[in-house]
Chains A and B, each alone.
Chain A
Amino acid sequence: MAIAPAPQPLLHVENLSKTYPRVDSGGSFTVLEDVSLSVMPNEIVALLGRSGSGKSTLLRSVAGLIKPTKGTVYSSGKPVTGPNSDVAMVFQSFALLPWLTVTENVEVGLEVLRLDHKEVRKRSQEALKMVGLEGFGKAYPRELSGGMQQRVGFARAFVVRPRLLLLDEPFSALDVLTAENLRGEIGDLWEAGHFPAQSVILVTHNIEEAIMLADRVVVMSSNPGRIRGQIRIDLARPRERNSADFRAMADHIYTIMTNPETSVAPMFSPGRRPLETTPLPHARPGAISGLLELVEDYGGADDVAVISDRLRIEADDLLPILDAAVLLGFAEVRQGDVTLTETGRSFAEGEVEAAKRIFRSQVLDRAPLVRTMYEALLTSKGGRMRQEFFLDVLDENYSEEEAKSQFDTAVHWARYAGLFEYDSDEETLRLHEIEQ
């Protein structure tokens, strides 16, 4: 490769793939496929994607916590083979040791550096000051609120002065206001110019968070995780959430995120059983109906970013519901705008029985997994089948967890549609009584 001798990337990820073997079926499941990415000094890169896009796996490969199946991570030019000493990580769930005081927690990463005691104290005091926790050194994490606990998490990462700071959805376990506050402070620190790390990778599913903080947003696709594209964010800092440019950028990214990829089909190699040609988005019928009603209330069409903002739902939660509405033919999404279809309108407006009827015909028509399960039950003896059978088939295309989720969603939809029942005691599916 002929990289110009210009700035050396801090981190270089080359053709990374991660595949987990399926222990019981002998197959395998791909989480990340052929991902390449560079992080330059002095930039914040946001990895944006839905659940299942492997963004967290990518981050853990960078940290050296996961060994990739293929490809290499180069940190400061050297391949990463174990825990990466150039990085420090801030965790979604804080990952503080509850039996250590705040100071002890913060100093935890310094032991390996073998600094003398004075230096250790100096650094931890500095870091605590930076995150506004001066005077909390002797407290135990349980005495602090969630926001303050995450500040300890940041201080613990700052104190080792990593080249690269890894943020794994650091604000998503906090309530909206606390998250906004802490996010703003981290942004301020970065802008102030003496940030304790050279560069940052931020994993998030919150589009506005990505725009707020990042210089570059890397959008990832799901199943398997790939990089769909990168967007440079050149907005001036500090960024204003309500500025026209910010809104335009949010709209643009929402458009990309809601735009289904050209085709989902190539995921599945031909010749397999046709049980699962389209993965079901994990949304409950009630949530679909609720979303449609909301769009209806605003005149039958709305901007996705606006909906997300108005409901304070993050993209990760909103998008599956939207996907389900689209899959079932209740809505259409174009350029980041949702429009209800005729069927969607009658589903949203209809009373319970009518809505169920519409749901049922749409599901049979457009949700292949539910239809296949229903048809299998119709032809089976006594209208009963074991859960295991379907899970085994699903297992061939999904991770174990995802197979179970697909099954659960299918059962939810079928129950709502009155197609079939699931008996969790016997772990069997059976046709609804009327059908038999």
Chain B
Amino acid sequence: MIVSCTKIGDVMKKFAFDLDGTVTKVETLPLLAKELDLADEMKLLTDLTLSGQIPFEKSFRLRYLILRNIPLKKIQEIMDGVELDAEIAAFIRENKKNCAVVTGNLDCWIAPIIAKLGCESFSSTSEPDEKNSPVLKKILDKGSAIRALKKISNKVVAVGESFNDVPMFEEANISVAYGGVHKPVSAAISVSDYVVFDGGALCRLLKML
């Protein structure tokens, strides 16, 4: 028996990355909330969401309603300065066609990060109102993003760490819980195939899959 090893250049293979706390070195919404002097409150809400104590959809709607008071331009400026995991970002840039960011975060907020990575993205969506302020349209179900990727790929590898990555892990062919920023939540570990804590090890593993 031969273990198959598909080249990364194979467009049939797709790597789906969670954004906050996986590609980014921090959770971005608490960072944005600093602008409103609500960082601690936002962190509390975010932590409860990561661990699955409050449902992502309700929590994101609430966090959106708070953060929409910050001008979009300011949000994008902050997002542009968010530190990325260097090794993961390099991996995505080198394998743009095989990579996608799958995040519940809002399309226009994360745009500067996606532009830097150069890959496709699945996110919650918005429409601009008359003042060019984003109006939340649809919150992403991460499982549906993986189902969409599976239509064009025979091997989808998902990388994430929090409770809302569970549906993504359940749909993906291979799941990797990544603890580079914080320990993956137990729920995500329990449906994963691999667990790694180091960006370099993660990229070496992804190249093998």
Q: Do A and B come from one complex?
A: no
Chain A residues engaging chain B, CB cutoff 8 angstroms? none
